Amino acid sequence: MEPFWTIRALQACRKKAQPPFQGCPVHREIPGNPGISCMTGQERSEEKSECVSLSPMRETVPALPERVCVFGTGDLGRSLGLRLLQAGYSVVFGSRRTHSSSRLPHGAQVLGHAAAAQSAHLIFIAVQREHYDFLVPLANQLKGKVLVDLSNNLRKNQYPEANAEYLQSLVPGAEVVKGFNTLSAWSLQNGPSDANRQVYICGESVEAKQVVIAVASKLGLSALDRGFLSVARELEDFPLQLFPQWRLPLRIAIGLSAAFFFYLLIRYVIYAYVTQGDDISFRIMVSLANQVCPIVSLIMLSLCYLPGVLASILQLYRGTKYRRFPNWLDHWMLCRKQLGLLSLGFAFLHVLYTLIIPIRYSVMFWVTEHTVSLIRENRTTMFDTTTAWHDDSYLSLGILGFGLYVLLGITSLPSVSNVLSWREFSFIQSKLGHLTLLLCTAHTYLYGWNRFLSASTYKWYTPPGYMLCLVLPSVVLLLKLLLITPCVDRTITRIRQGWERGADQRNPKDSQPLIP
């Protein structure tokens, strides 16, 4: 939906304007102190301690708010200014139109670009890249200043170099720091409790980055230094990404669904039409969907646990945990959570599709028809306890498996996994996860039951879908069973604790990790 900054920005802000520059003239008379307020917190405290030691009225001289400057009076600039004011900063907006400050937060000052640049050491550039050229004539005023480039682009690779690198090339005398660009005007106005607190910065100057880290911390954000300005492009691409970690799992899900849909379409609908002339195409909507969903769900659940098993085997084979996994395995392991959640989605649909079975027209028709034919043909059926046992066990295993599935899903919610200790999280995701896989696999085996050996199951010599989907989970469970046999498990545990095969003669003393 439409973000809706403009109104709230003005509602939330201070009702009276603060007198700008209050007390400043006094400070300015202190010799050797030309640029008051143009310093970071650390620098300020130096400055203050110095002047304070000259004045006996130390107790009464209040801590003056630091001044920061914001270039750009768009949504983001205004929201950032409001937030800085709320965090106790004195804010100066740099604008070409210094009179039209009606939309700016009360308490902020508006100056021309040159005056604004002169007044503060830290300048946020909340202007679109196309307008950066207005900074070129300000090169003198910006010399030595910290410029924070907040800009984003509309799409990836829009420009040959990153915006921050372009800014640095325009104003070589300034210290450009890229950062804060993942913040929206919305999240700035509503406070970090409603948004991600972590922001990334990068830049050439360690000192400039420390200034920005300090300001971020005062705004309630946690800024992480990602390195030099060459990382800027990566940071600028960040807000443009659309579920990068979900792409591979989604493609797998769609691919598997499509493949099994057509396979089952041929095996059931087309087979029935070709061999018996029956039109059972209506089954596509529910029956076929209810076969595709559990098949894809089980395959994806086993794909979620397969890479862990493979990694263990690789570590066992290599005899160390300090060698990097191949790239494909690395990528695979990083999208296990997404694989699992998609698998849960398919399982959820499978449950709903199963539960509506008795209210479907075709099922109700068939049940009535069956009863009517029993009467008309005067047949009787005997209650078969084995079938009852089998049917109820199959359903019960499915329910328990789905219950655990949902539990796994809930514990993967960020707020839940955050309150778990590492041992608790790994207990749930590994122990309960494999138990879920076991229950769901057993559920599918019981579904197949005695049809595995019946020739009529193999229409056109093809196995049914549930048989195909059992291959992968069976392999994963067998390998896992192998890995948890005591002797293998002991070796893996030692490897995970830092032991290296053939490395005993070396002295690996302090390279041993603490976390098993």
- Binding to its own copies (CB under 8 A) within 210-239 occurs at 210-211, 213, 217-218, 220, 222, 224-228, 230-231, 238-239
User: Residue 138 carries which DSSP code?
Assistant: G
Least distance in angstroms from the C-beta of 263 to its own copies: 19
Question: Is there binding between residue 140 and its own copies (CB under 8 A)?
Answer: no
- Longest alpha-carbon distance in the chain: 114
State the helix-helix crossing angle for 433-448 and 385-411, rounded to 10 degrees.
Answer: 150
3-state secondary structure of 224: strand
Contact 38, 66 (CB under 8 A): no
Restricting to residues 162-191, which ones interact with its own copies according to CB under 8 A? 182, 184-187, 191
DSSP string, 415-467: HHHHHS-HHHHHIIIIIIHHHHHHHHHHHHHHHHGGGTT-GGGSGGG---HHH
Stretch that binds its own copies, among 54-62, 165-173, 453-461, 476-484 (CB under 8 A): 54-62
Binding map of its own copies across residues 440-479, x = CB under 8 A, - = no contact: ----------------------------------------
Handedness of CA 88, 53, 117, 98 (dihedral sign): positive
Of 251 and 460, which CB lies nearer to its own copies in the complex structure? Answer: 251
What residues from 65 to 84 belong to the interface with its own copies (CB under 8 A)?
Answer: 65, 71-77
Single residue of 134, 262, 273, 449 touching its own copies by CB under 8 A: 134
Task: List binders of its own copies among 12-31 (CB under 8 A).
Answer: 12-16, 18
Structure token digits, residue 295 = 């098949």
Candidates 270, 395, 432, 479; binder of its own copies (CB under 8 A) is 395
Tokens of 289: 């969907």
* Cα–Cα distance for residue pair 348/297, rounded to 1 Å: 9
Report the nearest approach of its own copies to the CB of residue 42 (Å): 5
- Residue 276 C-beta: closest distance to its own copies, Å: 14
> Exactly one of 37, 68, 69, 86 binds its own copies (CB under 8 A); which one?
86
Q: Do residues 74 and 80 lie in contact, with contact meaning Cβ atoms separated by under 8 Å? A: no
User: Which stretch in 2-10, 252-260, 461-469, 478-486 sits in contact with its own copies by CB under 8 A?
Assistant: 2-10
Residues 222 and 213: their CA atoms lie apart, in Å, by 7
- Pick from 98, 257, 281, 457: which binds its own copies (CB under 8 A)? 281
Of 313, 349, 432, 467, the one binding its own copies by CB under 8 A: 349
Q: Is 446 exposed, middle or buried (0-12, 13-18, 19+ CB in 10 A)?
A: middle
Among 229, 234, 230, 226, residue whose Cα is nearest residue 156: 234
Q: In this chain, which of 159, 262, 273, 389 binds its own copies, going by CB under 8 A?
A: 389
Task: Tokens 């600039």: give the residue.
Answer: 77
Provide the token pair at 79: 């929201």
Which CB atom, from 456 or from 509, has the smaller least distance to its own copies? Answer: 509
- How far, in Å, CA of 15 to CA of 107, rounded? 8
Q: For the CB of residue 463, give the shortest distance to its own copies in the complex, in Å.
A: 24
Site for its own copies in 483-512 (CB under 8 A): 496, 498, 507, 509-512
Q: Out of 157, 276, 317, 415, which residue is the one contacting its own copies (CB under 8 A)?
A: 415
Question: Is position 345 an interface residue for its own copies (rule: CB under 8 A)?
Answer: yes
Task: Assess contact for 402 and 351: CB atoms under 8 A.
Answer: yes
Q: In this chain, which of 152, 297, 338, 436 binds its own copies, going by CB under 8 A?
A: 152
Measured in whole angstroms, the distance separating CA 428 from the mean position of its chain's CA atoms is 20
Q: Please tell me whether residue 276 binds its own copies under the rule CB under 8 A.
A: no
Number of residues that bind its own copies (CB under 8 A): 191
Q: How far is the CB of 148 from its own copies (least distance, A)?
A: 12
For residue 375, CA distances in Å to 165, 368, 465 come to 84, 11, 35
Q: Does 273 bind its own copies (CB under 8 A)?
A: no
Residue 371 binds its own copies, judged by CB under 8 A: yes
Min. distance of Cβ 277 from its own copies in angstroms? 13
Between CA 204 and CA 202 the distance in angstroms is 7
Question: Taking a C-beta distance cutoff of 8 angstroms, is the pair 14, 107 a contact?
Answer: yes
Closest-CA residue to 480 (of 437, 428, 443): 437
Among 37, 141, 168, 429, binds its own copies (CB under 8 A): 429
List the structure tokens of 50: 């110095």
Site string for its own copies, 294-333 (x = CB under 8 A): -----------x--x--xx--x-----xx-xx----x--x
State the nearest-atom distance from the C-beta of 461 to its own copies, in Å. Answer: 29
Binder of its own copies out of 25, 29, 62, 505 (CB under 8 A): 62
From the list 158, 169, 275, 362, which residue makes contact with its own copies (rule: CB under 8 A)? 362
Taking alpha carbons only, the member of 310, 322, 275 closest to residue 479 is: 310
